[in-house]
Amino acid sequence: MFITALCVFSQCLTTSNGNIFYTNVNKQDTRVFVNRSLAMEKIKCFGFDMDYTLAVYKSPEYESLGFDLTVERLVSIGYPQELLGFVYDPTFPTRGLVFDTMYGNLLKVDAYGNILVCAHGFIFLPDTRELYPNKFIQRDDTERFYILNTLFNLPETYLLACLVDFFSNCDRYSSCETGFKDGDLFMSFKSMFQDVRDAVDWVHFKGTLKEKTVENLEKYVVKDAKLPLLLSRMNEVAKVFLATNSDYKYTDKIMTYLFDFPHGPKHGTPHRPWQSYFDLILVDARKPLFFGEGTVLRQVDTTTGRLKIGTYTGPLQHGIVYSGGSSDIMCDLLGAKGKDILYIGDHIFGDILKSKKRQGWRTFLVIPELAQELHVWTDKSSLFEELQGLDIFLKVTHDMDMCYGMMGSLFRSGSRQTLFASQVMRYADLYAASFINLLYYPFSYLFRAAHVLVRTHTHKHRAGLLIQKPVDVHNS
């Protein structure tokens, strides 16, 4: 099963010190799920990413903006004008797909590289043995196979499918096994992919994506009044830090908007600037490099947004904004070591995998899609009962997958786990649809994973199950 256990079931929770804490976590979308046990009272620092974690971008509006700007960039470097007619469709892409730069296919694979779904453009290929004789790919071949793992990857995932579909059906081009020809000109899928990657990077770092986002924050960014309350509660029990790859000017505009309420953490309390909720603020982190050798730690002039000359060598000071640095430097400033820190982010590689493997930080993965996955499972669970009839297995599996979108569930294909699901299980100690779900648990709570010896092999289990039956955990 994908999720080893739900950390809670009933409304009455028992904390690690024996206190009773009543909450509303029996609702699926407010739960925190557990892969590895974690005692909250041992956490001395809570760390946050900003993009897609503290700042939740509205879907599909934000993805549509990124998609449109990337298409405009491709047209500006010579791609056909017809591309400007593309419209982003959020029902097609899902995270965790792999793009094969040799054959131009989008692949959904499991943890071992076995192919679960293969799409060429918008055509789903029922038989892939001619291209992949063993229905298997070498994931280590990163020159050929690119994993589209982040929420920022969703627009380019759909754009890659659009481009393959366009060139396959355009009379001016003839299809080849590894690309397209236009007279004497040949464009490989690999070069097309690289053009898309370069265009995406240009849009994010040199283009107008951030500018257009801050021009219309209400359209693109979710604002949650529970955010100041959660952080203020964290302030009472631990240090809180922000480590984002974004620059200070953008970070300040986004965070100012997120905390733009007439009151403080609670109604009747005075408003507090966003900086007051953090013991340490670090921008331009350059994750995942941040979790290795890192860069020079500098101080930001918050008036101009520019970096001050020289390397910062002083102690941690409240109100100072830092730029660059590394996780080692941050731990020194905070006076904390690996397992003292719970880091909360959305990026399975840049946030979770690297912080876990290189620093031993405890990890909380934000998976916004989880809310939809839980809804589908709850709403369509009767379909799973039909899977016990082997003669209709494929049809019902397909019907179930289509409830999630054209590429199916983020976590499964039928009864098989996806690569993304295996990475979540391996590197995320906790995960939820939103970090705000921590608000529904006391900070003395023990998240305890179920004891699992050997997976039970039986034909009677629900083959497409995303989540096990909830377990009522009483902590001692």
**Start-to-end CA span in the chain (Å):** 26
Alpha-carbon distance of 9 to 359, in angstroms, equals 32
Q: How far is CA 434 from CA 30, 358, 440, in A?
A: 8, 25, 12
DSSP 469: P
Q: Among residues 29, 51, 140, 171, which one is catalytic?
A: 51
Sign of CA dihedral 287, 324, 193, 406: positive
Strands 430-432 and 362-366: parallel
- Within 321-432, strands assigned E span 321-324, 341-345, 362-366, 412-413, 416-417, 430-432
Is residue 36 within 8 Å of 426, Cβ to Cβ?
no
The total number of residues written for the chain in this structure: 476
Q: Among residues 49, 68, 252, 429, which one is catalytic?
A: 49
346 is in an annotated binding site: yes
User: Is 165 among the residues known to form the active site?
Assistant: no
Alpha-carbon distance of 246 to 201, in angstroms, equals 13
State CA 304 to chain mean position distance. 31
Alpha-carbon distance of 373 to 146, in angstroms, equals 24
Whether the upstream peptide bond of residue 470 has omega within 30° of 0, thus cis, is: no
Is residue 116 within 8 Å of 110, Cβ to Cβ?
yes
Alpha-carbon distance of 349 to 428, in angstroms, equals 11
Q: What is the pLDDT of residue 467?
A: 41
Yes or no: is domain 1-56+221-458 CATH 3.40.50.1000? yes
- What are the domain boundaries of the chain? 1-56+221-458, 60-217
Is residue 100 within 8 Å of 112, Cβ to Cβ?
no
State CA 243 to chain mean position distance. 16
Is residue 168 within 8 Å of 121, Cβ to Cβ?
yes
Alpha-carbon distance of 158 to 145, in angstroms, equals 16
Alpha-carbon distance of 221 to 223, in angstroms, equals 6
Alpha-carbon distance of 48 to 242, in angstroms, equals 5
Closest CA to 195 of 179, 173, 176: 179
Alpha-carbon distance of 292 to 390, in angstroms, equals 49
Q: What is the pLDDT of residue 27?
A: 65
184 is in an annotated binding site: no
User: Is 100 among the residues known to form the active site?
Assistant: no
51 is in an annotated binding site: yes
The DSSP line for 102-126 is: TTTEEEEE-TT-BEEEEEETTEE-S
Whether the upstream peptide bond of residue 60 has omega within 30° of 0, thus cis, is: yes
Strands 174-176 and 179-182: antiparallel
Alpha-carbon distance of 239 to 45, in angstroms, equals 5
Is residue 367 within 8 Å of 433, Cβ to Cβ?
yes
Q: What is the pLDDT of residue 385?
A: 59
Tokens 């983020």 -> residue: 410
68: left (phi over 0), alpha (psi -120 to 50) or beta: alpha
Question: Per residue of the chain (476 residues), what is the pLDDT tens digit?
Answer: 344 333 333 333 444 444 444 445 556 689 999 999 999 999 999 999 999 999 999 999 999 999 999 999 999 999 999 999 999 999 999 999 999 999 999 999 999 999 999 999 999 999 999 999 999 999 999 999 999 999 999 999 999 999 999 999 999 999 999 999 999 999 999 999 999 999 999 999 999 999 999 999 999 999 999 999 999 999 999 999 999 999 999 999 999 999 999 999 999 999 999 999 999 999 999 999 999 999 999 999 999 999 999 999 999 999 899 999 999 999 999 999 999 999 999 998 888 888 898 899 999 999 999 998 888 877 766 655 555 555 555 555 556 565 677 898 999 887 789 999 999 999 999 999 999 999 999 999 999 998 765 544 433 333 333 343 333 343 43
Name every residue whose Cβ is closer than 8 Å to that of residue 227 and which is 6 or more positions away in sequence.
54, 258, 259, 436
Q: What is the pLDDT of residue 343?
A: 96
